[in-house]
A and B are shown apart, each in its own frame.
Chain A
Amino acid sequence: MLSIRGLWKQFGDQLVLRGIDLDMPSGKTTAIIGRSGCGKTVLLKHCIGLLKPDRGSIYVDEQEISRLRKKELNVARRRFGMLFQSAALFDSLNVFDNVAFPLREKTTLREEEIRRRTRERLRQVDLEEMAHKYPAELSGGMKKRVGLARALVMDPAIILFDEPTTGLDPLMEHAIHRLIRDTQRQFGFTAVVVSHSIPQIFDIAHQVALMYDGQIVAQGTPEELRASAHPVVQQFLGATIEGPLVLDN
């Protein structure tokens, strides 16, 4: 179980997270939805210890991630995989080496085995023939898929996906959703997916949480959320035009 308790975070004068409470059950997929700039990425980065909370804590099972020292944090991070919103591929490595990178750096597997696993992941995201291209030569969607393959390659217990399907065509979006759902079922990892793909994300998530104004304003199963009378939820799911959400920026 990945638990967030009373998480507050502020950058300069800007208060981004104001008391987030969220439980993400093990072996399930939790989707986090919310407007651009509402702090979803900041939330994910706290989960893996890239940012430190101003207040509050994050627990992985019984361990408090937000209080670990660097060494312990690095041990805890071996259980995590993360797909960054920008993919964050290494410019200096080609697609194949990007995906193989964690295996080469963090395991003692033989090169043959590394190649086999890397090829397998690249096949799953349909990028086998791009293996020798460099990130600069790829489209945004391809980079996302390479990032996805890299996040999956270590078979982590918890995977954080930051907008895995933003910028993909509908066909690819569907394929990636299916890949996340199928691998999640197969390996049983805990998935946290930040997504704007509504309602498609509802088909793969066991639980959905809606972020608004630095807080989780609604959470529950997709059905519960659909049935919610909360005005922000209703407006976000497109049921009503009028509501608390306004296009201010």
Chain B
Amino acid sequence: MGGAPVPPAVPASLGDREMSQPRSPVAWVGASAMRGTQFMGRMVLFLGVGLGWIFLPPAKLRRSIQQVYDIGVQSLFVVFITAAFTGMVLGLQGYYTLSKFGSETLLGSAVALSLIRELGPVLTALMVTGRAGSSMAAEIGIMRISEQIDALDTMAIDPMKFLVAPRLAGSIVAVPLLTAFFDVVGIYGGYIIGVKLLGVNPGAYFGEMRSSVEMVDIIGGLIKSLCFGCIIAWVCCYMGYFAERGAAGVSRATTTAVVLSSALIFMWDYLLTSVLL
């Protein structure tokens, strides 16, 4: 009870303190490298566990479908606007470039190939990140700081299973669907500019498209959008899940989620393109 001699303080756990107070540039580089490695390791583990829970029973079908719906509804409008204007600007730029070679009839192929292979998956993923991904990070972050995730834990309900897995599954389904929607809207945007405004032959627009777009293009775009869907939910859930305490923690988590997810989308896009080509 009272007055017991106080034993010496416990040593700081796992060198946390050394890492936050570097003494020399070399120590700083070392500490940053270790922190970076730790961070990446935790991210990969997080993804592995999250994906694992999708396939392990019990089925989370209802919650996953709810996520498809939420992500889709949140993003549909911005995806529509982005797609329409991207298609229109492709119509303009494509026409300008192709007319230099007198091959305006190829406009349909140019628009469709750029959209299906590249712009559709990437721009859709960026829009979903900004719209649904940020709200995912904020929602989970708030659950973290308001102890709702702790509450799940105390009820022996795994938050990875309950919160993360349905979002991963939902995003992996929703992003390809939204990408398909983007592609269709974009192709019609190009059509309106190319055919209705600049007078390209409508038969040529769609005819050339049909003969030049191949199954590999569509499958390539699909693979990209599947990966992007995974990246978005992965990064945004991770950041929310490990949000630091207080409102500032959640806002930092949300910003980091959007920036990191967008950057990863671009990097992964390059990697996939170079492999798929």
Chain A interface residues toward B at CB < 8 A: 8, 10, 12-13, 15, 18-19, 45, 48-50, 54-55, 74-75, 77-78, 80-82, 84, 86, 88-91, 101-102, 105-106, 215-219, 230, 232
A86 to B2, CA, bound (A): 31
Q: Give the residues in chain B near A77, CB-CB below 8 Å.
A: 153-156
Residues A45 and B9 in contact in the complex (CB < 8 Å), given A77-B156, A106-B156, A232-B2: no
Q: Give the residues in chain A near B151, CB-CB below 8 Å.
A: 82, 84, 88, 90
A82 to B148, CA, bound (A): 12
Q: Which of B1-18 contact A (CB under 8 A)?
A: 1-2, 4, 6-7, 9-10, 12-13, 16-17
Residue pairs across A and B with CB atoms within 8 Å: the count is 74
Q: Are B16 and A90 in contact (CB under 8 A)?
A: no
Q: B217 within 8 Å of A by Cβ?
A: no
A232 to B1, CA, bound (A): 12
A50's contact among B4, B9, B153, B157, by CB below 8 Å, is which?
B153
Min C-beta distance of B157 to chain A, whole Å? 6
Chain A residue, CB-CB nearest to B154? A82
Min C-beta distance of A103 to chain B, whole Å? 10
Query: What are 9 A-B residue pairs whose CB atoms fall within 8 Å in the complex?
Result: A19-B4, A19-B6, A54-B10, A74-B156, A77-B153, A84-B151, A106-B157, A215-B4, A217-B1
Min C-beta distance of B53 to chain A, whole Å? 13
Q: Are B10 and A89 in contact (CB under 8 A)?
A: no
Min C-beta distance of A236 to chain B, whole Å? 12
A73 to B81, CA, bound (A): 49
B142's contact among A13, A50, A84, A91, by CB below 8 Å, is which?
A91
Q: Are B13 and A50 in contact (CB under 8 A)?
A: no
Min C-beta distance of A9 to chain B, whole Å? 8
Q: Which of B125-175 contact A (CB under 8 A)?
A: 142-143, 146-148, 150-151, 153-158
Q: Are A86 and B157 in contact (CB under 8 A)?
A: no
